[in-house]
Chain A
Amino acid sequence: MGLLNSGLDICASGLTAQRLRMDVIANNLANATTTRAQDGGPYRRQIVVFEARSHTSDFKRLLENELTGLSGVRVKQIVTDNSPLRQVYDPSHPDADPEGYVSYPNVNVVAEMTDMISATRSYEANITALNSIKHMAAKAIEIGR
Chain B
Amino acid sequence: MIDIISNPIIQGMEKALDGSALRQKAIAANIANVDTPGYKSIEVSFAEQLRGALKNPGKVIRLRTTHQRHLQINNASTMKEFVISRQNTQVRNDGNNVDIDREIAKLTSNEIYYDAISRCINDEFNLLRKVIQGRV
Chain A partners chain B: yes
> Chain A: residues with CB nearer than 8 A to chain B?
1, 3, 6-7, 10-11, 13-14, 17-18, 21, 49-52, 66-73, 118-119, 122, 125-126, 128-130, 132-133, 135-136, 139-140, 142-145
The proximity string for B residues 91-113 relative to A, scoring 1 for CB distances below 8 Å and 0 otherwise, is 00000000010011001100100
Residues of A within 8 A of B28 (CB): 7, 10-11, 14, 126, 129-130, 133
Closest to B40 in A: A52
Q: Are A13 and B125 in contact (CB under 8 A)?
A: no
Q: Are A69 and B114 in contact (CB under 8 A)?
A: no
Among B35, B108, B125, the residue within 8 A (CB) of A50 is B35
- Interface of chain A: mostly helix, strand, loop or mixed: helix
Closest to A10 in B: B28
Q: Are B35 and A3 in contact (CB under 8 A)?
A: no
Among A13, A52, A130, A136, the residue within 8 A (CB) of B114 is A136
Q: 13 extra interchain contacts, Cβ-Cβ under 8 A, other than A1-B18, A69-B42, A143-B122? A: A1-B22, A1-B79, A14-B28, A14-B31, A14-B34, A68-B25, A68-B26, A68-B80, A68-B83, A73-B33, A132-B108, A136-B21, A139-B115
Report the bound CA distance from A119 to B34 in whole Å: 10
Closest to A118 in B: B35
Are A70 and B24 also in contact (CB < 8 A) when A10-B29, A143-B121 are? no
Among A50, A135, A145, the residue within 8 A (CB) of B33 is A50
CB distance from A7 to the nearest CB of B (A): 5
Residues of B within 8 A of A130 (CB): 28
Quick check: is B118 within 8 A (CB to CB) of the other chain?
A: yes
Pull 17 A–B residue pairs with CB atoms less than 8 Å apart, ordered by A. A1-B22, A3-B25, A11-B28, A14-B31, A50-B33, A50-B36, A66-B80, A67-B78, A69-B83, A72-B29, A72-B33, A73-B35, A125-B31, A125-B34, A129-B32, A136-B21, A139-B114
- Interface of chain B: mostly helix, strand, loop or mixed: helix
Residues of A within 8 A of B47 (CB): none
Q: Are B21 and A125 in contact (CB under 8 A)?
A: no
Closest to B117 in A: A139
Quick check: is B8 within 8 A (CB to CB) of the other chain?
A: no
Quick check: is B17 within 8 A (CB to CB) of the other chain?
A: yes
Q: Are A70 and B31 in contact (CB under 8 A)?
A: no
Q: Are B35 and A21 in contact (CB under 8 A)?
A: yes
Residues of A within 8 A of B29 (CB): 10, 70-72
Q: Are B32 and A11 in contact (CB under 8 A)?
A: yes
Report the bound CA distance from A51 to B89 in whole Å: 19
